[in-house]
Structure 1
Amino acid sequence: MIIIVIFLLSMFFFENKTYSFISKINIKNLRYNKNNNNKYHLFASRDLRKISSFVLDYSILFNKQKIRKRKFNFFNVCSNKMSNMDNIKEQKENDGCGSLEELIERYVCEISSLIERNECIKGIDDEDLKKEFMENEKLLQDKKMKLKDLYGKPSEELKLVENRTKLENLVKRKFFYTNSFEIYGGASGLFDYGPSGCLLKSELENLWRCHFIYYDEMLEISGSCVTPYQVLKTSGHVDRFTDLMIRDVVTNDCYRADKYLGDFLKAKIEELKKKNTKEGEHVEEKEKKQKRDDDINENKENNDNNNNNNNNNKSNYNYNYDMIGGMQNGNETLIQKIELILRKLDGMNEEEIKEIIKEYDIKSPLKNDLSDPFPFNLMFQTKIGPKDDNTEDKNKEKCKNVDNNKNLNSTNTNNNMNNVAFLRPETAQGIFVNFKKLLEYNGGKTPFAGAQLGLGFRNEISPRNGLLRVREFQMAEIEYFVNPKKKNHEKYYLFKYLMLPLYPRDNQLTDGVVIKNMTLEEAVEKNIIANEALAYFLARTYLFLLKCGINKDGIRFRQHLKTEMAHYANDCWDAEILTSFGFIEVVGHADRSAYDLQHHMKYTGANLYACEKYNEPIEVEYVKMIPNKAKIGNTFKSEQNKIYSCLNEKTNEELLIIDEELSKNNKYILNVSNNDSINNECKFELTRDMLSFQKYKKKVQEENFIPNVIEPSFGIGRLIFCILEHSFRIRRFTDDKEERQYLSLPYKLAPIKCSILSISNNKAFYPYIKQIQMLLNQYNISSKIDNSSVSIGKKYARTDEIGIPFAVTIDFQTLKDKTITLRERDSMLQIRISMSHLVDIINSMLHAKKHWNEYIAQYGLFTQQVLDS
């Protein structure tokens, strides 16, 4: 009775409202407890009454009612994990506004705005502006310290592996995506997006456009998916766009070498760890048994024989213990060796992979021998038009051979490949071939960025793991064209203080540690990141991933090993996201130098130079190369033209390096790219007597250069997969076996923004349902109506499953005063508002202008309908 009275009194303080909108939780005790969102939760310990699972914002409710904080104890009946008490203070300071990732993004936005403002007013002789500048500087230091603290806080723990099957069932049941042509048995590596998946993909692409294209005024194009043979031959894709493949020598089943070996070695590590655990348990059991024997022997006085046996037993046991300990240490050493191999695997060549297969005696899944690794070209080949090719039959025959890379090279001549084309493996080439038009559109000014969203195609050897490895996929790519002498970005200073989780190549080859306490500015100064422009796009990508709802502790930026970089790259960093399958590359960042433009210009003769004009003439040092043609011709014969062509493409700085090297060592190794061979390069040894150089200075008003390119490349499908995994949540109830699954998607990404529900299927509600939908449609807020006869709780569960963040409920009070309830997905709390306020409230939260807690404070929690006249 006492507990009932306490409960009723507490309800009185909440303006006589009862929590009627949720179900199946038994009230047992009232205590207060704190979680990572500064929420206090109602705990139930005895069967007093049924209410639904919900989250109360303790501070807002009690401040609103102007009563002292009472020592109620609340229990978290949601799936969100309770965290330590330290998070409470931080959340109070931030008004409970969102997740850790949202707070980081918000702080970065505020800091960048302050930096930009101070940059504008710095140096202006105005007292008010000087005062504002100083205040901003103090505020900046304070916010940077808070941001640094946020970096150190752990994100919400994700049970990715444990929840994978449940998420897969949800994705299928709600038709986010499915295997293409499923009724015919499906097609490996091809997927169809359903209604929810299409909307999610569309929202993600819109968010990407806003975050990158609109923010940096990029120039977007949409190019053709079918690409002529010569374009991709010139870019190097025909010869080098390959993965190493192995095959079962008996069944001829094919596998991608690095992935197959990676799976095998990971399984080997797990096997060794289990073995260590069993050996450790064996040692512990023997220790206990020996201790019991020792105790018995010690109690036997005056028995020398027993004492001697006891001593012998001890020495034998110690010998066995040392032996087992040695075995464990041996296993640990082997585990470390395999982990190092895994970190190097992506960059290994054919010989290295062959050695690993031999060393670990790796077999096919059917226990058959595996072939030596060989390159497999990943592009889909097709034809443009009906024109016959006299090599067509030969090509068809050769395509049966698994090594189709040799097939491509054996038929690649200008005469018989005019109508051959490929489905594009990347969207980048469409931007490169239109570079001159984009430059003119931009008024001839550099730097600038081109961007493109579109399909890419790669004939994956063994597609699997859902959207992670497919043969047709949506890409979003940026090509940032910049002067090679000035690889910077005008907005770099706004983000150089960010501390990203960096995984440099040196760490991958040694201790495997991810650097988390280094700013981008430090990383550039230490030459860990090659240049400011590359660092800028790493920062922008990091913020974009946080905006997409990716857990901050599930992100790392891994630098490519030198052996695994693409043929066109100087430096590469992959944004990798933790999934149930481990870390997966989702965004690639490459410094492509001038590789693509140089090769397209060389083959076509097109002028793909950019020009930088100076305000005043400047003096530039030039280097003129004077080759000894007789010496070079006698030495290299028919290869001499390749040498001249390569030397003519060198910049002044590169020619000076060659001159210095020749003077120092009397020789220089010239690497010449070879598009006519699978081998990446030909090497020629030049001597001092073959080349001489003449230096001279000249005043110029402008400088021509071939732009270098910084390229961020996003895999949209992979990102969707990661977003779904990181947003998947489960609500569990204390007295109910039922669990409710939902997607805690960021509001901006939610496929549908608002559901329109009725408390029952009473026909009197229909006009209001349509009225609200029309109101939302006017402001482009997507909605979904559910006026079925199921309970309101089930309607909420349906909308939560597809990540709808807001739910409008029309009830009998709506008929009376035209007010409605608005429910938020993650907290499950409701407020009662006028229909006329609905659009403003939803829009403000979609654009992060206000937080849900602020509206709870403004309107109070809705608990029950008021039907009295």
Structure 2
Amino acid sequence: MALFKRRGFIWPSYDIYGGVAGMYDYGPLGFSLRNNIVDVWRPLYKGREGFVEIDSEYVGPREVFKASGHLDKFADKITYCTKCGAPFRADHLVKEYYDNPDTMTEKELEEAFEKHNVKCLTCGGKLGPVEDFNLMFRTNIGPGTSRVGYLRPETAQGIFMNFQNLYRYNREKLPLGVMQTGRSYRNEIAPRQGMIRMREFNQMEVELFIDPEDKTWPRFPEMADEVLTLLPNTGSETVTMTVREAVEKKVIANEALAYFVGTTKQLLVRCGVDPARLRFRQHMPDEMAHYANDCWDAEALLSIGWTEITGVADRGAWDLSRHGQFSGTDLSHFVKYDEPREVEMDKVKANYKVIGPTFKGKAKAVTDAIEAKTPADIVDGKLTITVDGEEMVLDSDKFNVVRVKEKISGERIIPNVIEPSCGLDRIFYTVLEHAYSYDEKEDYTVLRLNPEVAPIKVGVFPLMAKDGLDTVARELCEAVHTHRAEAYYDDAGQIGRRYARMDEAGTPWCITVDYDTLDGDKKGTVTIRDRDTTEQKRIRMDDAPAIIDDLISGKRKFSDL
């Protein structure tokens, strides 16, 4: 973290006032690296898959999070020291004794404190009762307290809120893939793992709305041979298999989910996550959300152990079902049959002999409202309808449930959701840690970032800042610098020190203008140095922009220059 701070990747927020745990600012190099990671993610989904991208609000009204379950369920277990009052996330205090402490109840955690003699980490005092602590930041929308709102705990809810609009935009067809990047907020109890657990964090999320009866994927054959390292919930050892094998052996629930697990691996490896330190762990049955069909976490091996950086889940129909139920909005999809089918079904019919005399002028509106209901809407023999804004509760003499035969051309279903959800800050930190290389003997640090995400692509130096070398180097830096290839000019200190600064910043290549550039048999040429091998080659200065572009894209290798 010291190197990342010194080189301008990340800084603790509000540092001059002592900082705030779980909050970090991105410096110039960090901001560029983070954006470059997004630029790898976006073409995979928007370009390759043809998904659409939106941007939704950060603050949402209480009703949204009541329906989503966040208001009732989005909580961690908290305990306070009875002596000094310090708060702690209860399950983290016993994680060395249990495999999945986050699934333990309040009573089980309290018993674990006693059994293992767990005390306050601050003063050694006795820990108090364990209780739920909701992780959402609460606010008020507008003056006063009449409209309660919350900062969004995930970007996904904004996509679900716009499903109707997106569905119409997609001409009422499935599958429908929607992307969103942005900030989310979780009021973490005691964030103590740097950028891994932040209170304000960045997400790259995709919600894929799909027919629950057809979870195949058209591009699956292209992904079928991608090799995955999996940790299924049926054992404690990892297994290696292809995406195709994972589906055939029912290790991963369906094609669509497996395809996007494979896509997630491709994303992470391209960004610079070491594939030898990457695995996909399936949620345990007691860990998985009750509505989820299957869920896999991409975990990276970091200095703090295996850490979740991305989740890929089949969320079933939970999200749209809940929001449809709570809002009264139809969030279904119409599946048209190839040919009409005759089916028997139960329907609610108005008892016309009773409705007419009872409701007179409103009889037609009441009849229409009754017959728009289904038998499932009848509760304790009564049916609740709304007519002209007035809610009415009807007794069973006003309606009947009858069995009818009808020809139907299709049916309405609630789309299921496949969700690849990436923690951008966690990927960012993982890329940095996996790229970090320190040679103790030489006391030398290199950040071996993948060229595609490196914030600076090439350093441009004059051998010395005199005799016109600096002028030529500045002109070359301007020629190389583009929106894709960020170049950095440096003429301060010895050339070795400049190489070292670029190596610490993760810059893949450095170009040096020397006296041979200006005169002699090698006039018009410069040296280019490769970060990872320290090998140097001579190239024509005029070719430098094209060569750097080819090296970044992978069209050319340094060894072929």
TM-score by shorter chain over 0.5? yes
- Structure 2 partner of 1:374: 131
- Structure 2 partner of 1:804: 507
Whether the 8 Å contact between 1:617 and 1:699 is mirrored in structure 2 is no
- Structure 2 partner of 1:384: 141
The CA deviation at 1:606 is 2.0
- Structure 2 partner of 1:712: 420
Whether the 8 Å contact between 2:247 and 2:255 is mirrored in structure 1 is yes
Whether the 8 Å contact between 1:768 and 1:810 is mirrored in structure 2 is yes
Encode CA deviations 1:284-336: one digit per residue, 9 max, x unaligned: xxxxxxxxxxxxxxxxxxxxxxxxxxxxxxxxxxxxxxxxxxxxxxxxxxxxx
Report the Cα distance in structure 2 between the residues aligned to 1:834 and 1:551, rounded to whole angstroms: 34
The CA deviation at 1:472 is 0.3
Q: Give structure 1 stretches of 5+ with no counterpart.
A: 1-167, 266-337, 390-417, 627-644, 650-692, 856-869
Report the Cα distance in structure 1 between the residues aligned to 2:214 and 2:203, rounded to whole angstroms: 28
Q: Is 1:350 matched with 2:69?
A: no
- Structure 2 partner of 1:702: 410
Report the Cα distance in structure 1 between the residues aligned to 2:83 and 2:402, rounded to whole angstroms: 63
Equivalent position to 1:363, from 85, 108, 119: 119
Letter in 2 for 1:364: C
Whether the 8 Å contact between 1:348 and 1:564 is mirrored in structure 2 is no
Q: Give structure 2 stretches of 5+ with no counterpart.
A: 349-372, 378-400
Whether the 8 Å contact between 1:180 and 1:186 is mirrored in structure 2 is yes
Report the Cα distance in structure 1 between the residues aligned to 2:454 and 2:87, rounded to whole angstroms: 39
Whether the 8 Å contact between 1:189 and 1:469 is mirrored in structure 2 is yes
The CA deviation at 1:730 is 2.2
Letter in 1 for 2:459: S
Whether the 8 Å contact between 2:550 and 2:556 is mirrored in structure 1 is yes
Letter in 2 for 1:515: V
Report the Cα distance in structure 2 between the residues aligned to 1:621 and 1:836, rounded to whole angstroms: 74
The CA deviation at 1:238 is 0.7
Q: Is 1:583 matched with 2:340?
A: no
Alpha-carbon spacing, 1:753–1:646, altered in 2? closer, same or farther (3 Å): farther
2:262 counterpart SS class: helix
Letter in 2 for 1:361: N
Letter in 2 for 1:726: H
The CA deviation at 1:524 is 2.3
The CA deviation at 1:523 is 2.5
The CA deviation at 1:646 is 11
Report the Cα distance in structure 1 between the residues aligned to 2:46 and 2:107, rounded to whole angstroms: 43
Letter in 1 for 2:428: I
Equivalent position to 2:84, from 248, 251, 268: 251
How is 1:539-558 mapped onto 2 (pairs within 5 angstroms)?
Answer: 539-558=262-281
Whether the 8 Å contact between 2:45 and 2:51 is mirrored in structure 1 is yes
Equivalent position to 1:781, from 452, 463, 485: 485
Letter in 2 for 1:831: K
Q: Is 1:619 matched with 2:350?
A: no
Alpha-carbon spacing, 1:778–1:462, altered in 2? closer, same or farther (3 Å): closer
- Structure 2 partner of 1:838: 544
How is 1:34-53 mapped onto 2 (pairs within 5 angstroms)?
Answer: none
2:234 counterpart SS class: helix
Encode CA deviations 1:149-203: one digit per residue, 9 max, x unaligned: xxxxxxxxxxxxxxxxxxx221121121111111111111111111111111111
Equivalent position to 1:449, from 167, 177, 184: 177
The CA deviation at 1:795 is 0.9
User: Between Structure 1 and Structure 2, whose CA radius of gyration is higher?
Assistant: 1
The CA deviation at 1:351 is 3.1
The CA deviation at 1:778 is 4.8
The CA deviation at 1:618 is 5.1
Report the Cα distance in structure 2 between the residues aligned to 1:571 and 1:648, rounded to whole angstroms: 28
Report the Cα distance in structure 2 between the residues aligned to 1:847 and 1:175, rounded to whole angstroms: 25
Q: TM-score, normalised by structure 1?
A: 0.57
Equivalent position to 2:220, from 492, 498, 508: 492
1:748 counterpart SS class: coil
Letter in 2 for 1:793: G
Letter in 2 for 1:543: Q
1:723 counterpart SS class: helix
- Structure 1 partner of 2:534: 828
Letter in 2 for 1:610: H
Q: Is 1:522 matched with 2:245?
A: yes
Q: How many residues align?
A: 513
Report the Cα distance in structure 2 between the residues aligned to 1:600 and 1:732, rounded to whole angstroms: 56
Letter in 2 for 1:707: P
The CA deviation at 1:468 is 0.7
Whether the 8 Å contact between 1:619 and 1:697 is mirrored in structure 2 is no
Whether the 8 Å contact between 1:234 and 1:600 is mirrored in structure 2 is yes
1:577 counterpart SS class: strand
Alpha-carbon spacing, 1:351–1:836, altered in 2? closer, same or farther (3 Å): same
Report the Cα distance in structure 1 between the residues aligned to 2:27 and 2:438, rounded to whole angstroms: 23
Whether the 8 Å contact between 1:568 and 1:596 is mirrored in structure 2 is no
Alpha-carbon spacing, 1:762–1:564, altered in 2? closer, same or farther (3 Å): same
1:775 counterpart SS class: helix
How is 1:163-562 mapped onto 2 (pairs within 5 angstroms)?
Answer: 168-262=1-95, 265=96, 338=97, 341-342=98-99, 344-365=100-121, 366-386=123-143, 388-389=144-145, 418-507=146-235, 512-516=236-240, 518-562=241-285
Encode CA deviations 1:760-808: one digit per residue, 9 max, x unaligned: 11150233123212212356421110012x2111111111110011111
Report sequence identity in percent: 37
2:239 counterpart SS class: coil
Q: Which has the higher helix share?
A: 1
Letter in 2 for 1:221: I
- Structure 2 partner of 1:851: 557
2:285 counterpart SS class: coil
Letter in 1 for 2:18: G
The CA deviation at 1:696 is 8.1
Report the Cα distance in structure 2 between the residues aligned to 1:173 and 1:607, rounded to whole angstroms: 53
The CA deviation at 1:371 is 2.2
Report the Cα distance in structure 1 between the residues aligned to 2:51 and 2:319, rounded to whole angstroms: 20
Alpha-carbon spacing, 1:503–1:187, altered in 2? closer, same or farther (3 Å): same
Whether the 8 Å contact between 1:236 and 1:567 is mirrored in structure 2 is no
The CA deviation at 1:611 is 2.4
Equivalent position to 2:456, from 718, 743, 752: 752
Equivalent position to 2:328, from 600, 605, 608: 605
The CA deviation at 1:700 is 4.0
The CA deviation at 1:489 is 1.6
Report the Cα distance in structure 1 between the residues aligned to 2:450 and 2:132, rounded to whole angstroms: 42
Report the Cα distance in structure 1 between the residues aligned to 2:216 and 2:27, rounded to whole angstroms: 42
How is 1:88-167 mapped onto 2 (pairs within 5 angstroms)?
Answer: none
- Structure 1 partner of 2:471: 767
The CA deviation at 1:566 is 3.4
Alpha-carbon spacing, 1:430–1:646, altered in 2? closer, same or farther (3 Å): farther
**Larger relative contact order (C-alpha < 8 A, sep ≥ 6)?**
1
Alpha-carbon spacing, 1:505–1:695, altered in 2? closer, same or farther (3 Å): farther
Letter in 1 for 2:6: R
Alpha-carbon spacing, 1:362–1:778, altered in 2? closer, same or farther (3 Å): closer
Q: Which range is displaced more, 480-489 or 245-254?
A: 245-254
The CA deviation at 1:695 is 8.8
Alpha-carbon spacing, 1:423–1:607, altered in 2? closer, same or farther (3 Å): same
Q: Which range is displaced more, 449-458 or 556-565?
A: 556-565
Whether the 8 Å contact between 1:754 and 1:782 is mirrored in structure 2 is yes
Report the Cα distance in structure 2 between the residues aligned to 1:719 and 1:619, rounded to whole angstroms: 50
